[in-house]
Each structure stands twice: as structure tokens, then as C-alpha cells.
Amino acid sequence: MSSCASEDQVYAAYGRAMNKAQVLEHSLRVLVTIHRTASKEFESQEEVERAVAALSSSTMGTVFAALRKIHQDAALEIQIKLAVTERNRLAHHYFGHWDAIWVDEQTNTKMVDDADQIRILFEGTAERLMPILSAHLDTIGADPDSFIPGLGSRIAEQLADNTDLA
């Protein structure tokens, strides 16, 4: 951003970055959920739902640790580690970090640039996950609802969320 930014632009950039963090976290969860449900036999639909619910309440770091068991890619692992670190900084320390020096429009501009760089990291990481997600979807086949009732709509939502990244 070349000109000075307003406080509203800081909050908007922060919101966009946090949204992309959530898209990335959702992508990771979908990938791990699909892998776990595709590779394990469940006794009942309730057992499937409990497994999905447990993963849904996991932190981004926990989901990332589960991803390591699914897919080994050193470069992607480094990128995801950075994304997890930046997500935590964004969620827990972003404004505290800038608070002491947040005094003028020039600082606003630096804050917008910082949030934009974090957003770009999240977008790129989610984009790198899409081929892995697609490969796992191949294990389920053309009718995911026959595998897990409701999975088709969950997949459609995930794919719709990630078309915003293009």
C-alpha cells in the first residue's frame, strides 16, 4: 500500500487476513477428516459424527499435526508451520504488537501491509492444499454421500470457500 492508510483500512485488512486463516483452517480440517473417515472403519454413523465433531473442535496446530501423518512434504510443512505461527500472532498478538507505536497513518499503512502479507501466506497455503484434498477425494469416489451422509454438501462448501482464493 503506497499511500497512508486509515484505521478502518487496518481493521479491514485484519478482517480479510483472519477470514483467510479460517479458510485455511477449514481446508486442513476437511482434508484430515476425509482421510480419517476414508481410512478407518466405523461401527456406526454416530461414531463417524463423534470423530468429525472431535476434529472440528481441534486447534489449527492439532489439525496440522494430524496432516503430517497423511502427507509428507517438507516445503508444505514449513509453509503450514509459518501459517500456524502467523495465525496465532494475528489472533492473539497482532494489535498488542502494534499498540505502542500505533500513532499515525504511516503506522496504519505498515499494519495493513503486515496483515496483507499474512493473508497472502494463508491464501497460498490453502491453494497448495487443494491438490492433496482432491487426491483424497478420489478415494471416496463420485458419490461421497454413500460413504458418509452429508459429505457431498460439506465438500461443496469447502470447494466454494476456496474459489475465493483464485
pLDDT tens-digit profile of 35-82? 676 666 667 778 777 777 776 766 777 777 777 777 788 898 899 899
Identify whether 2 is part of a domain: no
Identify whether 49 is part of a domain: yes
pLDDT at 93: 94
Per the structure, the complete domain to which residue 99 belongs is given by: 7-163
Q: Is the pLDDT of residue 86 over 90?
A: yes
Average pLDDT over residues 102-115: 94
User: pLDDT tens across 135-146, in order?
Assistant: 777 766 666 676
Identify whether 131 is part of a domain: yes
Identify whether 101 is part of a domain: yes
Average pLDDT over residues 85-104: 92
How many structural domains comprise the chain?
1
pLDDT above 90 covers a percentage of the chain that reads 36
Identify whether 56 is part of a domain: yes
Identify whether 110 is part of a domain: yes
Identify whether 1 is part of a domain: no
Q: Is the pLDDT of residue 83 over 90?
A: yes
Identify whether 76 is part of a domain: yes
pLDDT at 91: 94
Q: What is the 3-state secondary structure (H, E, C) of the chain?
A: CCCCCCHHHHHHHHHHHHHHHHHHHHHHHHHHHHHHHHHCCCCCHHHHHHHHHHHHCCCHHHHHHHHHHHCCCHHHHHHHHHHHHHHHHHHHCHHHHHHCCCCCHHHHHHHHHHHHHHHHHHHHHHHHHHHHHHHHHHHHCCCHHHHCCCHHHHHHHHHHHHHCCC
Question: Which of residues 142 and 156 earns the better pLDDT score?
Answer: 156
